[in-house]
Structure formats: C-alpha cells, structure tokens
A = this chain, B = another copy of it.
C-alpha cells in the first residue's frame, strides 16, 4: 500500500513523479510562530540540486521551491505547509525501450508486479527526484529543533574510505566538506574520488558510497520504548532513501565484533547541572531507543547507481530475454547527492521525536 507520509506528529507527505508537471510535499504538525520563507529552504535544495558538477547527473533543474500555504506574515501558522517544485527539464525522449524492458537494479519489475502498470518515464515515483521534497521538508524540520545541528558527509566511495583522522581537526574537516563536490571531509580522498568517479563514468559503470551523519545538540530523553525507538525511526527514515541498503547506529556492524568492555560507553560525572560525561560513543548517542545526550551517529550504505551503460541481461514486459543499457543522465555515484537527503531525514525524525517527547513528558 502506498504510504507517502512519514512521521507521527510532525509529518510530511510527498507526491509527484520525475516527469510530471511538479513534485511537492505537505508538512503537517509544524509548531506555529516559526519564521519561515523560501529563503530558509532553497539553500538546502541547492546543495542537493543536480547538474552542479560533472560528478552528478546532467539534468538541470533549478528546483525553485514555492510555499503555497501554512505561512502568514513570515511565520508558520500551525497549519499545513505545502511546498511545490516544478519539473522543468524533462527532456523529451523516447521511452518505448524503458517501457518495454525491466531495467535491472531498478524498481521496474517490482512496480509492475505490484500495480499491474507503471509510469516508466524516468522511473516515475521511484525516481530519486522525489528526494528534493524530503530536503525541503527537512529544512522546515531543522527550524523546529534549532538546538540540533545535523551534518552528513561521504565516508567512502567505491570502497575507498577517508582517513578518519581528519576529524581530529573538526573545523577543517567540516570546511572541507563544503569545498569539494563530494561532501568529503578529507582533501586527499576527494582527489582520489575525482579520478575514481571519472573512471567509472567513462567506463559506463557506477560506484557505491557510505554516508555518515551526526546530529549534535540532541538532548538526552528523545525517542522511546518500544516501537518508536529513536534508532528504529532513524533506520526506517534512512533505509527508505533510494539506493540505501544498510543502516548503522554508532559502531553498527563493528559492534558485533567487540567485547562488552570495549563496547561500553563509560561515564563520569559531568559539568555542574549537566548529565554524565561519556568517555566514548560506541552507542551513537542512543541507548534503549532513547537519546543519551551524546551526538547521534548514523551511517548509510548506498549501492552503486543502477543506471549504467554496461549492458545487463534482462527481460521484456512480455517475458522475452533482452539486454538493457541505461542511457540518459545519471549520477555515477548516487550516494554523493544522498548527503543532503540523509541529513534531511535525520532532521525530520528528530523534529518528530522532539514534539513527541514534549507531548508525553512536557519538557522542551
């Protein structure tokens, strides 16, 4: 069943296809009185926008967002915030080939199996273009939890990882993230990735990536037992992003190889008036589904872009053997543009949890 709404009390609903007239979202449950205009949203969309370097798809969309409701005299009214982004660069082309055969690694066959037909233009609803709406909604979410700072970066491309030590100088690392087209905190890695991705693109291939995200400033106490655990909500939010195949909180899979005493996050007394000071953060800022006050850490594995020029055996809708090469404009490494989307989804979960915590416990 389609379920295009995410969230429990701070909710957003997205709609639209890659090649329809527009895409959009409706943000519901936003607190009133928050200063909000298009200028608060556009910069986040610009970070995700395609066509900005040769390392992303060459589709050129201005992705100009319009707010259609829920804001009056520059502030949210508490009623739904409807946002709309027009599709302008739907290049006219012949889709008969895509319509006839299932692209391997894409949702083509699964959609057809479910719905009995599908919108085959540019992937229809399964297009990553929908993630622009998440970024727009995420920009509103950030304003709901201004005490939280959500930042993501690319940790590895095609298995080539950054040097984790770059975060020993966090300011330099964050500055570097904004400086290269890969959201890479490590200039040496960024240089290597340029070659790696160029080579993949030229050979008609594509690469996967790992994106890491940190939310600083989350107070202890957000989230909940049992089926709205903060980590479970984050897992759902991030695994639901196109091309994501794995999610980790804190040490994630590495924790499965640790011994209890190495995985423990020891505590010592914190500063006056504050909670305990933690001596490690293997848990990624979440214990028992509830935030601990440490930075919340999430990691997402993006598979390589499924659209590649290399031919892959497939079948036609009629059930006959064929080969598919996906022409068109595609990201050689879709994980890169996943960075602002991961950030947005994390911000959306945190805004929802902040309001839920306030509902039950009255704090905040």
Contact = CB atoms under 8 A, between A and B. Distances in A.
Given A3-B29, A261-B205, A314-B267, A113 B220 contact: yes
A180 interface: no
Contacts of A250: 245
Interface stretch (A38-46, A56-64, A123-131, A171-179): A123-131
A2 B226 contact: yes
Closest 4 CB pairs of A and B: A107-B288, A159-B257, A3-B228, A206-B260
6 contacts: A1-B355, A2-B28, A232-B235, A248-B301, A260-B310, A263-B304
Q: Which of A24, A72, A233, A264 has the most CB of B within 10 A?
A: A264
A288 B125 CA distance: 9
Interface residues of A, number: 159
A364 to B, nearest CB: 7
Nearest to A32: B115
B3 A256 contact: no
Interface stretch (A77-85, A145-153, A185-193): A77-85
Interface in A348-364: 355-362, 364
A105 to B, nearest CB: 5
Contacts of A287: 105-110
A246 B301 CA distance: 11
Given A3-B224, A110-B290, A114-B290, 19 more contacts: A1-B224, A2-B226, A3-B356, A9-B356, A13-B80, A15-B70, A17-B72, A21-B66, A33-B116, A77-B124, A109-B276, A110-B221, A207-B260, A208-B257, A235-B235, A256-B335, A266-B313, A269-B321, A356-B359
A239 interface: yes
A220 B107 CA distance: 11
Interface string A223-237: 111111101111111
Most buried by B among A5, A257, A355: A257
B220 A308 contact: no
A290 B251 CA distance: 29
B314 A255 contact: no
B364 A355 contact: no
Contact of A252 (B70, B125, B221, B246): B246
B256 A15 contact: no
Nearest to A276: B315
Contact of A362 (B235, B264, B358): B358
A341 interface: no
Given A229-B240, A236-B235, A68 B284 contact: no
Contacts of A170: none
